[in-house]
Structure 1
């Protein structure tokens, strides 16, 4: 889709949409809903921990590793919501929840919030969106042609390698957090140092005390690998394969966010599995909207976009991954073309 053909609308379009959303009370915080999420995640974490200890030094604990991958993703979703101030109005309370959940999964909350805020300000921007700056993948033909060595080979077959590469996403999240803390690139670097290295110490101690050394290593690989796949599969459908923007293409907030985002259709099960990120258009338009309100805002936003003639893209979960893989395959096509002598 060529975004250059989108109609130029004044900023008042978003103002009118915001007024509609406010009139429905959809930006009001819902602490009760989050209290339920906290309790459920706490219960799941406790059940997983008890099962891990009771099963002990057995290969059956690899099932617990898969279970913890799901739990870690749900905890990370809460950290995401806290970073957008969806839970409480005050920054301090949200940051407390964010740092706590960052510690539980071993991520730097401050580093992630900084990167994610830049993404929200410039979604799918070829120069300014950090989510398009992934060494192992190419999202534009220019990026693909600029790869060298092993990264060029990966870009060449990236559609086939996409899901295997997601197995490394969990380790990447840990690595980027540790690097940011060590380099003091986050404000609360002392606090985050204690939290992230405390997590690593507690995690490794628990795994190696309960399991044999070989079992512990395999447990870590399975847990972190599946967690990475879950996280990647939750974020990838949102923008990958949607139009990319450049400095030459300037849009107002409404057009920029809607044109570059993709929703995933589904009921409450999909809402839970994807942490509300399936309402990516609404989330990008109103980042502080509580997760539970996104499903109520969706028909309002879709109808508003229809009245403006603004393309509003949504598909099924399977369809979203098909579009992502198709885009990655097309971007890598020039690298697979035979050289012209």
Structure 2
């Protein structure tokens, strides 16, 4: 409500909703002056230029590289008849799969996994399509073509694809995500509808990846039939699906939404429409800082690696707060409780949009 807002300063201002619970009450924040994205960008570019290769790519590659040998350890442990080593191996396999597909694939899509663009393209195709069984072409369009440039723009990048209004809250929040490994190829086919060549290519490489993985499971984990091995594959790939879905909805849904006509400048759009999840050692490894702890920084500078967004985080946070801009960050469990409590408003009803007023 207008009465809840502070007095309007005499000089030109921008008025934006900054409450995470924007649907509960109308909270407006008045930003004096107009800080420019270029001001922050110049500081970040200087930090990147002064960083070594290991800071920009090396440390992250070592972290993610651990997932490859650990994957084979997990397969070996799952060959034991004893329950404890099997469960440990099962958890390791699910975690490593997330590192390889979600974390590495996401960075490669932004050319932030390797220094070479070509190396990023090959890695993205391999981990997303061959290993992850999701169309590389569809993934790039959804994430790079829609989500990033149109973050929280209703109908374009508002995360509405994650909503399933017919599913009850507890089923959606705690059980439905385990179907993600099965649904991913189906979503790809839907996105590729009418693209015959791309669909054929996706089905071929997905099949190659599927057969190779089934053979690996049968060889190392000791499964006797391809069917059992395939069921085992889908099962361990669902280990981190809960976290994957939660992260994707926690960081944008419930924050201010805009229409394409009323969208603010990039700095304000990302400041108001993106949220960071507090640090967690496990999530840091399986998903990386760009997807969890430094998601605001990632949306502002999407071509930076996990290590670099972590390095620039203090600069970005200070810049936002010193210029009167919001910097949203919440603990994982707080967001989980919030979404369970407000599921009807956040995940079922159409999102309300924030009308952006002021100079552009």
Matching residue within 132, 152, 161 for 2:172: 161
- In the TM superposition, residue 310 of structure 1 has moved relative to its aligned partner by 0.9
Cα RMSD of the aligned pairs, angstroms, is 3.4
Relative to structure 1, the CA distance from residue 10 to residue 183 in structure 2 (aligned partners, 3 Å threshold; closer, same or farther) is farther
Question: 2:305 matched to which residue of 1?
Answer: 290
SS of structure 2 residue aligned to 1:239: coil
Q: Per-residue deviation at 1:6?
A: 5.0
Kindly state the Cα deviation for residue 104 of structure 1 after the two structures are TM-superposed: 2.2
TM-score, structure 1 as length reference: 0.79
In the TM superposition, what is the alpha-carbon distance from 1:159 to its structure 2 partner?
Answer: 5.2
CA distance in structure 2 between the partners assigned to 1:100 and 1:334 by the alignment: 37
CA contact (8 A) 2:182 2:234 kept: no
1:82 is displaced (CA, Å) by: 0.4
Aligned to 1:211: 223
Shift of the 289–202 alpha-carbon distance from structure 1 to 2, 3 Å rule, reads same
Distance 1:331 1:181, change over 3 A: closer
Taking the aligned partners of 1:269 and 1:224, their CA distance within structure 2 comes to 16
In the TM superposition, 1:71-150 aligns within 5 A as 71-76=96-101, 77-102=103-128, 103-117=130-144, 118-129=146-157, 131-134=159-162, 136-137=164-165
Contact 2:108 2:120 in 1 (8 A): yes
TM-score normalised per structure 2 = 0.75
Structure 2 residue 232 is matched with structure 1 residue 228 = no
Cα deviations by residue, 1:125-181 (Å, 9 ceiling, x for unpaired): 2211263124524xxxxxxxxxxxxx2xx2xx3255322121122222232234556
Q: 2:195 aligns to what SS in structure 1?
A: coil
The change in CA–CA distance for 1:129 and 1:185 in structure 2 (over 3 A counts) is: farther
Aligned pairs, how many? 316
1:211 CA displacement: 2.3
Matched, 1:67 2:78: no
Residue aligned with 1:250, SS: coil
Structure 2 runs not aligned, ≥5 long: 1-18, 351-360
Q: Which has the higher helix share?
A: 1
Which structure 2 residues correspond to residues 2-81 of structure 1 after superposition, within 5 A? 2=22, 5=28, 7=30, 13-25=36-48, 30-52=56-78, 54-55=79-80, 61=86, 63-76=88-101, 77-81=103-107
Rounded Cα–Cα distance in structure 2 between residues aligned with 1:182 and 1:206? 31
Q: For the Cα contact (< 8 Å) 1:181–1:193, is it kept in 2?
A: no
Aligned to 2:327: 312
Separation in 2, partners of 1:182, 1:208: 34
